[in-house]
């Protein structure tokens, strides 16, 4: 999905246009509510820096560089994401260490050689509030050194947890949710729920097979017996795993619940109480209640209250 098609994000869209024409900024920190569109903006900005023929409006979208960025296969693009048991970004992802726990290309090695195809090498660090202390200090050193051909894009949904010294090394750009009017125009009555993380949900909506399963689950709310509640809760969890393989489990589930809420409110407009129930489960999952507890209760209630 092109950045221009996403609602909201006015400041971020202007930034992508500006940086397509000039490369004066070397590090950008994209922040906002989870799912506000940080990753979509990161993609667009990476393309702007790697496009062979950027236009006034940003990356051209058609050159081989733009195509490779959109498929996350560009040889000059490195993604760094939290991983492992603590879901953290760790030191071996930033710099060379002895006996790394997994085989990855650390940032320091990646930026040690000039770009092969694009005008710049671009490093995207997702969820930088999940850097552990050692990794954060190593990243800070990296950001402090001049790298003429390297550009950094950092994203976070928890700006308050990002080290101030890292924040001060980056141009901070807010990823804004659409305003009420814009959200209503795009998402209709489901806007208040959908607005919570519209772009994550929009991304999920494009994955046909899992989306079809989610639709069948919505159908089942009318036809399944009460005894099917726990199986349906389990199915929703499984679908969220399929839908959003890249992001952390909870994030995928949050976005899936938003999409589920939108579909339920469209299919059963006479049941606003179901939307409220889903919103409650959504808050619980955001608040770290176990997804099993929240979803089992949700489906039991919805089937019993028909
Ligand atoms: Zn291009």
pLDDT band per the 50, 70, 90 thresholds, residue 212? confident
Question: How far is ligand 1, taken at its centre, from the CA of residue 68, in Å?
Answer: 9
Q: Contact 213/202 with Cβ under 8 angstroms?
A: no
pTM (2 decimals)? 0.70
Residue 64 CA, ligand 1 centroid: distance in Å: 7
List, for residues 41-97, the tens digit of each pLDDT value: 999 999 999 999 988 888 898 999 999 998 888 999 999 999 888 889 999 999 999
Which structural domain, as residue segments, surrounds residue 300?
180-304
On whether both 154 and 187 belong to a single domain, the answer is: no
pLDDT at position 132 is 95
Of 122, 141, 174, the residue at which a domain comes to its end is 174
Ligand 1 centre to CA of 82 (Å) is 29
Name the domain count of the chain.
2
Give 229 Cα–ligand 1 centroid separation in angstroms: 48
pLDDT attached to residue 193: 57
CA of 43 to the centre of ligand 1 (A): 12
Distance between Cα 58 and ligand 1 center (Å): 9
* DSSP code, position 118: S
Q: Which long-range contacts (CB under 8 A, 24 or more apart) does 221-229 make?
A: 221/264, 221/267, 221/268, 221/274, 221/302, 221/303, 221/306, 222/268, 222/306, 224/303, 225/303, 226/300, 226/303, 226/304, 228/303, 229/296, 229/299, 229/300, 229/302, 229/303, 229/304
Average pLDDT of the residues of the chain: 87
CA of 49 to the centre of ligand 1 (A): 9
Separation of 41 CA from ligand 1 center, angstroms?
Answer: 15
pLDDT, residue 197, reads 60
In a shared domain, residues 129 and 96: yes
Report the alpha-carbon distance of residue 153 to residue 45 in Å, rounded: 8
The residue from 174, 208, 241 where one domain ends is 174
Mean pLDDT of 3-8: 79
Q: Do 24 and 154 fall into the same domain?
A: yes
Domain end, chosen from 122, 148, 174, is at 174
Spacing, Cα 54 to ligand 1 middle (Å): 6
Task: Tell me: do 43 and 92 sit in the same domain.
Answer: yes
Q: What is the pLDDT of residues 99-152, one digit of tens each?
A: 998 899 999 999 999 999 999 999 999 999 999 999 999 999 999 998 899 999
CATH code for the domain in which residue 82 is found: 3.40.50.300
Residues 190, 166, single domain; the answer is no
Ligand 1 centre distance from Cα of residue 55 (Å)? 8
pLDDT of residue 201: 64
Residues 87, 36 within the same domain: yes
Task: Based on the fold, state whether residues 107 and 184 are members of the same structural domain.
Answer: no
């Amino acid at each position: 999905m092109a950045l221009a098609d996403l609602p909201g994000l006015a400041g971020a869209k202007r930034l992508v246009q500006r940086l397509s024409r000039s490369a004066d900024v070397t590090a950008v920190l994209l922040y906002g509510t989870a799912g506000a569109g940080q990753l979509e903006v990161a993609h667009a900005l990476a393309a702007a820096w790697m496009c062979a023929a950027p236009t006034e409006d940003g990356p051209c979208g058609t050159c081989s560089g733009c195509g490779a960025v959109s498929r996350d296969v560009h040889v000059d693009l490195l993604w760094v994401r939290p991983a492992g048991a603590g879901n953290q970004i760790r030191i071996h992802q930033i710099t060379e260490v002895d006996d790394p726990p997994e085989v990855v290309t650390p940032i320091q090695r990646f930026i040690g050689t000039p770009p092969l195809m694009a005008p710049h090498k671009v490093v995207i660090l997702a969820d930088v509030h999940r850097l552990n202390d050692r990794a954060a200090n190593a990243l800070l050193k990296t950001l402090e050194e001049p790298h003429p051909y390297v550009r950094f894009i950092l994203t976070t949904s928890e700006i308050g947890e990002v080290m101030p010294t890292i924040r001060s090394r980056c141009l901070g750009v807010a990823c804004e949710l659409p305003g009420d009017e814009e959200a209503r125009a795009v998402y209709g009555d489901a806007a208040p729920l959908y607005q919570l993380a519209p772009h994550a949900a929009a991304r999920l909506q494009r994955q046909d097979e899992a989306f079809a399963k989610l639709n069948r689950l919505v159908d089942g709310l009318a036809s399944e017996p009460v005894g099917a509640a726990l199986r349906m809760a389990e199915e929703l969890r499984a679908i969220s795993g399929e839908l959003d393989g890249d992001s952390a489990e909870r994030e995928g589930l949050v976005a899936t619940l938003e999409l589920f809420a939108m579909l339920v409110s469209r299919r059963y407009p006479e049941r606003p109480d179901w939307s409220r129930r889903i919103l409650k489960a959504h808050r619980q999952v955001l608040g770290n209640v176990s997804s099993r507890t929240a979803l089992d209760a949700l489906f039991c209630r919805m089937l019993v209250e028909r």
